[in-house]
């Protein structure tokens, strides 16, 4: 308010000075010119102050109150409240600037979301189309008479169709899991179990898949020494399977994936390490984002919509524990997570 009055006073003094100077130049009487200067300046100040206050200041004051109260979440009908500071012009400018920045940020987020949806739909469309079209082709071939004419080929086609349907099933299950995890629908059931025994069980279950990809699975540690943790056994099995399968997918031919267990103070650290392709340092922070795939071209060839690591992150965070990744491109990657020690 003080700045506003000073501004008005300066304008009034300028008008008074111009009028007084003009009269002095006309009459040559300094005293009369000074009286005119004072009278005109005072009259101008009062008039301009009332004019500005009525048509400018009060309206800006109301605009500021409206912006300020709307930002506080008040209803539009109650937004013109009594909340106001001493300098509404500066406050209104600041509020408008903040509002503009907020809207610009919201627009950027909407653009990111639009790009994300576009990429997501592209990925999901591809992942669904590939096994669907493959299965459709095998079934049509069988319908054309192969099932009677060439039983061995028919058996082979049925096996391939079954694997493609399994791929569809896994994708749908991953989508369902990530949806439930993100909304908090799935709760964890804590129990005491031996993490070493669970790791050995996962290695045995995935041995066939690792041999198909020429990847050696190794447990590094004392396999006969149990390490007990408190966690949801089924969910941690899901974490281990996702991490090991991920290492097999992106591993080198004739490569190795090792699983290690480290006992900390009140935690147990589990690490899954491979000597595969590695991940670029720039993309490493994004590997736990849903649907994000560091190597999109290869991911399309080997399948998967980029949900596995996002599921891992949600499960571990549901246990109030930490998950991390470190990698060197061309040398390999290590994913690690902690669990509460029993």
pLDDT at 288 over 70: yes
Evaluate whether residue 172 is within a structural domain.
yes
One domain, residues 13 and 43? yes
Mention every residue, 6+ apart, whose C-beta is less than 8 A from residue 120: 291
Q: How far is residue 320's CA from residue 310's CA, in Å, rounded to a whole number?
A: 15
One domain, residues 125 and 231? no
pLDDT at 136: 83
Evaluate whether residue 58 is within a structural domain.
yes
- Final residue belonging to a domain, choices 183, 214, 236: 183
One domain, residues 174 and 198? no
- Final residue belonging to a domain, choices 154, 183, 212: 183
One domain, residues 287 and 304? yes
One domain, residues 132 and 242? no
Q: How many domains does the chain have?
A: 3
Evaluate whether residue 162 is within a structural domain.
yes
Evaluate whether residue 231 is within a structural domain.
yes
Alpha-carbon torsion (325, 328, 333, 334), positive or negative: negative
Evaluate whether residue 106 is within a structural domain.
no
pLDDT at 333: 93
Find residue 228's DSSP bridge partners: 194
One domain, residues 281 and 145? no
Domain containing residue 152: CATH number = 1.10.287.130
Domain containing residue 273: CATH number = 3.30.565.10
Alpha-carbon torsion (336, 278, 178, 289), positive or negative: positive
One domain, residues 316 and 207? yes
Q: Which residue would you say has higher pLDDT here, 127 or 105?
A: 105
One domain, residues 313 and 283? yes
One domain, residues 196 and 278? yes
Evaluate whether residue 107 is within a structural domain.
no
One domain, residues 51 and 125? no
Find the domain containing 264 and state its range: 191-341
Ranges assigned E (strand) in the chain: 191-194, 215-220, 228-231, 255-263, 267-274, 323-328, 332-341
Average pLDDT of 54-59?
64
Cβ atoms of 59 and 32 within 8 Å: the answer is no
Written as one string, the DSSP assignment of 18-62 is HHHHHHHHHH--HHHHHHHHHHHHHHHHHHHHHHHIIIIIHHHHH
Q: b or e along 303-317 (b: 16 or more beta carbons within 10 Å of the residue's beta carbon)?
A: ebbbbbbbbbbbbbe
DSSP conformational letter for 252: P
One domain, residues 123 and 233? no
pTM of the model: 0.58
For all residues of the chain together, what is the average pLDDT?
Answer: 77
Evaluate whether residue 263 is within a structural domain.
yes
Lowest mean pLDDT among 2-16, 90-104, 248-262: 2-16
Q: How far is residue 3's CA from residue 84's CA, in Å, rounded to a whole number?
A: 16
pLDDT tens-place string over residues 111-121 = 877 776 676 67
Residue 157 zone, left/alpha/beta (φ > 0; ψ -120 to 50; rest): alpha
Evaluate whether residue 110 is within a structural domain.
no
Structure tokens at 287: 């590997």
pLDDT tens-place string over residues 156-174 = 888 888 877 877 877 787 7
Residues of the chain with pLDDT > 70, as a percent, come to: 67
One domain, residues 170 and 228? no
């Amino acid at each position: 308010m003080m700045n506003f009055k000073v501004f008005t006073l300066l304008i009034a003094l300028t008008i008074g000075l111009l009028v007084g100077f003009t009269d002095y130049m006309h009459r040559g009487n300094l005293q009369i010119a000074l009286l005119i200067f004072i009278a005109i300046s005072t009259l101008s100040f009062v008039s301009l102050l009332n004019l500005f206050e009525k048509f400018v200041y009060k309206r800006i004051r109301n605009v500021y109150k409206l912006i300020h109260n709307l930002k506080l979440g008040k209803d539009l009908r109650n937004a013109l409240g009594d909340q106001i500071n001493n300098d509404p012009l500066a406050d209104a400018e600041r509020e408008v600037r903040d509002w503009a920045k907020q809207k610009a940020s919201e627009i950027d987020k909407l653009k990111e979301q639009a790009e994300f949806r576009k990429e997501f739909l592209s990925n999901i469309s591809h992942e669904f189309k590939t096994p669907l079209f493959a299965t459709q082709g095998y079934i049509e071939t069988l319908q054309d008479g192969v099932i009677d004419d060439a039983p061995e080929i028919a058996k082979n086609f049925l096996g391939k169709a079954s694997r493609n349907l399994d791929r569809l099933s896994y994708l749908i299950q991953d989508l369902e899991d990530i949806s439930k995890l993100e909304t908090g629908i799935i709760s964890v059931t804590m129990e005491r179990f031996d993490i070493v025994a669970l790791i050995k069980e996962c290695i045995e279950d995935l041995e066939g898949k690792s041999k198909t990809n020429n990847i050696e699975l190794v447990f590094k540690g004392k396999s006969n020494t149990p390490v007990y943790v408190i966690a949801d056994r089924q969910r941690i099995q899901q974490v281990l399977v996702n991490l090991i399968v991920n290492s097999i997918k992106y591993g080198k031919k004739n490569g190795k994936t090792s699983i290690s267990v480290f006992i900390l103070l009140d935690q147990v650290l589990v690490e899954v390490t491979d000597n595969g392709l590695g991940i670029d340092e720039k993309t490493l922070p994004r590997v736990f984002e849903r649907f994000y795939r560091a190597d999109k071209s290869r991911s399309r060839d080997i399948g998967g919509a980029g949900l596995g690591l996002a599921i891992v992150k949600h499960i571990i965070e549901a246990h109030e524990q930490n998950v991390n990744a470190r990698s060197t491109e061309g040398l390999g990657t290590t994913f690690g997570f902690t669990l509460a020690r029993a």
